[in-house]
Amino acid sequence: MAWRWRLISFLLWLPSFWNDWNEPCRRHLLNQDSKEAFSIASKQYRTAFHFQPPQNWINGFPASLILLSTVSYYQQNQIGPMLYNGIYHLFYQYNPYSAKWGNITWGHSISTDLINWTPLDIALRPSEPFDLQGCWSGSATILPGNKPVILYTGISESGHNVQNIALPKNISDPFLLEWVKPPYNPVMVAEGVKPTQFRDPSTCWLGKDGLWRTTVGAEDFEKKAKALLYRSKDFVKWTRAEQPLFSTDSSSMIECIDFFPVSAKWKRGLDGSTIEAEDVKHVLKMGVFDNSHDYYLIGKYLEELDEFIPENVVEDDHRMWLRYDYGSFYASKTFFDAENRRRVLWAWSNESDTISDDIVKGWAGVQTVPRTIWLDENGKQLVQWPVRELESLRMEKVELKDVKVSKGGLIEIKGVKASQADIEVEFEFPELKKAELIYHDWKLDDAQMACDEMCSSVPGSIGPFGLLVLASHDLEEHTAIFFRVFKTSTAHAVLMCSDQRKYVIDHSVVESFGAGGRTCITARVYPKLLLTGDTHIYVFNNGSETVKITKLKAWEMAKARIN
């Protein structure tokens, strides 16, 4: 009996789980004593189609923008992307001098397809008393009349977080090369919150009353997180609303807030200023500073009160909130791509090696592949999938159909370069009654613990089965992405540990999209075998029950032109 659809529907309600892949068999740090290994490694771990600057440190996106006269933008670990007059602009937090964090500026690259990127000069660098110690994250908004404007956090001479404006020097320059900082900056200073914990203004939205709004992350003197709300008529004078958009006792500082509407009826994206439509809900995404995880809530934005009311939240506990991705994924931002009627998400994926490794490599940090993001038809969670433009890099393809993998089975996927691949796979497994019994009441924390405890080599009943990627021939090195099916006293659960249905492999990055994009995990790995180039991809099954690969397609990916 085929259970593929069952599998997918279970994943819908069991959000996602991850394993940090710290097992020595899968992760090798660079050897500082070997200069030769370093120089080879610095090249082999660099990505072929994930955004990176030519060298040095990046941490997240700031803002991006694009196109036409509608609002769109994007912020990625700190700044963001936007589409403007048909060109995507990606601004990112960048240290021009080193592979570690510091001297933060806004790097700038442009693209017409979100895949191939051309580097431009730095867009914002510290220069004024209101940003002398750094140009931190922010967002770009496109004002009526097709006028882009940046709101960003400056670290002032005295080390305080303040919010500033930057405007294009020449609005008819399609590349928006130069940005000026008007003398009326800063436009917001900390009031009632810690002056060093007040940052990352979101993309702005326009209310029915004609006022622009933005939300800024902050920590108050009681160590509580606040999504502060500011309003402005002219984008110059900003007034803080008495009530924050949202506040929580369960976290201290929250960073890179993103606030956007989603449709409960269809997948298409919505302009950030869409508020009053009966099928519209809002997403509030917050980066929790203490653990560098991005969490989100879905709810209703009450425009009259300027308040966000999350749905289905019974306790004020951020650990119960949903995550976009259970791997190395932080400071994400979305932007509305009006030309393609979609909302696009990106995030910063930090290295998991050491700072000294990064210095030797000469670079640190990549961006995830851009993902289209929409509200699941159940209205309870978001779904993500790589933008369709990524498919333009697909080259050789191999296919499998209806192949059984019995206990201990291992099938190699030959014919594609295993370090640069895009794989889609569907599994069927037998009757659920064979599932292992575990835990009485399955909670998210239990799932994460289970992934940590039961790695892919611990035999089970239905699973573990899945993929071994970036694997050496003897399997001594590998990154496993697998499923395991359990039954609790009341239901069945599919555990996805670093993964399932779609895998995007790019040297030191493996992005996994399970259950059609409802569960995502981004892993950073440094397999030693990348130095020799002898990498393999396998399907495996370490469960006692036979599973079937109903469909598997794997493509070798071409290298994108990135910077």
Residues that bind ligand DQQ (CB under 6 A): 59-60, 77-78, 93, 104, 136-137, 153, 199-200, 255-256, 331
Q: How far apart are CA 386 and CA 389, in angstroms?
A: 8
Nearest to ligand DQQ of 52, 59 (CB atom):
59
Q: DSSP characters for 397-461?
A: EEEEEEEEE-TT-EEE--SS-TTEEEEEEEEE---GGGSEE--SS--HHHHHHHHHHS-TTS-BS
Q: Which residues, in sequence order, are bridge partners of residue 74?
A: 64
Q: With 0-12 CB in 10 A as exposed, 13-18 as middle and 19+ as buried, what is 312?
A: exposed
**What is the nearest approach in angstroms of ligand DQQ to the Cβ of residue 90?**
15
**What is the nearest approach in angstroms of ligand DQQ to the Cβ of residue 139?**
11
**What is the nearest approach in angstroms of ligand DQQ to the Cβ of residue 201?**
10
Which token pair is 505?
A: 């492999």
Nearest to ligand DQQ of 59, 164 (CB atom):
59
Nearest to ligand DQQ of 256, 557 (CB atom):
256
Residue 284: count other Cβ atoms within 10 Å of its Cβ.
Answer: 23
Nearest to ligand DQQ of 96, 459 (CB atom):
96
Give the containing element (helix H, strand E) for 262. strand 254-263
**What is the nearest approach in angstroms of ligand DQQ to the Cβ of residue 120?**
19
**What is the nearest approach in angstroms of ligand DQQ to the Cβ of residue 95?**
9
Nearest to ligand DQQ of 63, 331 (CB atom):
331
Q: How far apart are CA 440 and CA 522, in angstroms?
A: 29
**What is the nearest approach in angstroms of ligand DQQ to the Cβ of residue 60?**
5
3-state secondary structure 11-45: HHHCCCECCCCCCCCCCCCCCCCCHHHHHHHHHHC
Helix, strand, coil distribution of the chain in percent, nearest 5: 10, 45, 45
Q: How far apart are CA 296 and CA 312, in angstroms?
A: 12
Give the containing element (helix H, strand E) for 134. strand 134-143
Q: Is 515 helix (H, G, I), strand (E, B) or coil?
A: helix
- Cβ–Cβ under 8 Å, residues 267 and 252: no
Nearest to ligand DQQ of 348, 482 (CB atom):
348
- Distance of alpha carbon 478 from its chain centroid, rounded? 23
Nearest to ligand DQQ of 135, 480 (CB atom):
135
Nearest to ligand DQQ of 77, 519 (CB atom):
77
**What is the nearest approach in angstroms of ligand DQQ to the Cβ of residue 161?**
8
Does a cis peptide bond (omega within 30 degrees of 0) precede residue 24?
no
**What is the nearest approach in angstroms of ligand DQQ to the Cβ of residue 93?**
4
**What is the nearest approach in angstroms of ligand DQQ to the Cβ of residue 271?**
25
Nearest to ligand DQQ of 57, 540 (CB atom):
57
